[in-house]
Amino acid sequence: MSAGKPLRFSKMHGAGNDFVVLDLRGGRPLPSPALARALGDRHTGVGFDQLLTIEDPVAAGCVARYRILNADGSAAGQCGNGARCVAAWLQRDGAAPGGHFRLDSPAGVIDVQALGQGRYSLAMGLPKFAPAALPLHAPAEAVAYELPAGGQRLRFGAVSMGNPHAVVEVPDAAAADVATLGPALQARPEFPEGVNVGFAQVLASDRIALRVFERGAGETLACGSGACAAVAVLVRQGRVGRHVFVALPGGTLEITWPADDAPIVMAGPTAFVFEGEFPLEQVE
């Protein structure tokens, strides 16, 4: 993107997980990693957990394609809260009329259902537990793994929701040492592409508390794919049922996994915060 004309954007959030949304339809160029970092800086830019680009669809039957960049400029494979915000943005724009439509995501096609009052339901696909899907270097697939991290041995489940997740069950999510254990597990060589680390507390068979340390963003107020991952891992471990409310610091998401061979469905809120323009001459 050349300097000169300011870059128009929308600021949005889903359960506190915040985004800058760029309309790049019509072949507009992708933002560089440097521009993503400049926009993502919470002191000198706009600030976000992830940047979302809305583009012309590639997959048949989709109203738009979206891609995801983290605040450090790296690419992400999926973002459930972001996908809901993309859906809301497209409906406000008039590009997604009706209550049901499809989005072309980095992890494949997503079915979207508008629920009203800014809430959307997304079919997030099948969880993939094979270590190669994350990837995770492990001798065999297991319900739980153990690795040394942060001065202790962490027991965790692992799953891909289009991006890699490790889920650690803890007795108290609010007291979990996310700032130490999250980056420590994320940096393990067994995760060659890094990993999102969730710290889940089981409150009841249909309710958990969750905090997530994300790749390229650090701890966020909410993580949609992380909520799906936590439920998938805990269902597999026999710790929760198949319909679970996930309480994150920024709000609550509703996760349903009807059967092992069915996609996980996530429902939750979206919100528009403001519209703005960013001066491109600020980018080196």
pLDDT tier at 243, thresholds 50, 70, 90: very high
Q: Strands, DSSP E only, in the chain?
A: 7-14, 17-23, 50-55, 64-70, 75-76, 100-105, 108-116, 119-123, 145-149, 152-160, 164-169, 196-204, 207-214, 218-220, 243-248, 251-256, 265-269, 271-278
- Give pLDDT, residue 137: 98
On whether 17 is known to bind a ligand per the annotation, the reply is yes
Q: pLDDT digits over 133-160, tens only?
A: 999 999 999 999 999 999 999 999 999 9
Q: What is the pLDDT averaged over residues 108-125?
A: 96
Between residues 97 and 111, the one the model is more confident about: 111
Tell whether the model's pLDDT for residue 124 goes beyond 80.
yes
Domain architecture of the chain: domains with CATH: 7-123+270-282 (3.10.310.10), 131-262 (3.10.310.10)
Question: Across residues 242-268, what is the average pLDDT?
Answer: 97
Give the model's pLDDT for residue 282.
64
| Closest to 66 measured CA to CA, from 30, 98, 118, 41 | 30
Catalytic residue among 62, 85, 223, 228: 223
Structure confidence at residue 3 (pLDDT)? 53
When pLDDT is averaged across residues 181-203 and rounded to a whole number, the result is 97
162 is annotated as contributing to ligand binding: no
79 counts as catalytic: yes
Q: What's residue 216's pLDDT?
A: 86
Q: Is the pTM here over 0.85, yes or no? A: yes
Nearest to 213 by CA among 238, 184, 191: 184
The answer to whether the CB of 174 falls within 8 A of the CB of 181 is no
Token duo for residue 55: 């583009």
Q: Is 152 annotated as a binding residue?
A: no
Task: State the pLDDT confidence band at 278, using cuts at 50, 70 and 90.
Answer: very high
Query: Considering the chain, what percentage of its residues have pLDDT values greater than 70?
Result: 97
State the pLDDT at residue 172: 98
The pLDDT value recorded for residue 222 is 95
215 is in an annotated binding site: yes
Q: How far is CA 34 from CA 8, 23, 25, 205, in A?
A: 17, 18, 21, 44
Residue 213 near residue 119 (C-beta atoms within 8 A): no
Check the annotation: does 80 bind a ligand. Answer: yes
121 has binding-site annotation: no
CB atoms within 10 A of CB 224: 29
Q: Does 225 count as an annotated binding residue? A: yes
User: Which residue, chain included where needed, has tokens 């809901």?
Assistant: 84
Region 97-123 average pLDDT: 95
**85 flagged as catalytic:** no
| 55 known ligand binder | no
What type of residue sits at position 166? A
Burial (CB count within 10 angstroms: exposed 0-12, middle 13-18, buried 19+), residue 126: middle
The active-site residue, picked from 62, 79, 85, 228, is: 79
DSSP letters spanning 79-103:
-HHHHHHHHHHHHHHTSS-SSEEEE
Q: Is 241 annotated as a binding residue?
A: no
Give Cα separations from 257 to 41, 42, 106, 269 (angstroms): 36, 36, 21, 19
Residues with Cβ within 8 Å of 55's Cβ and at least 6 positions away in sequence, in order, are 24, 25, 64, 65, 66, 67
Mean pLDDT of 67-73: 92
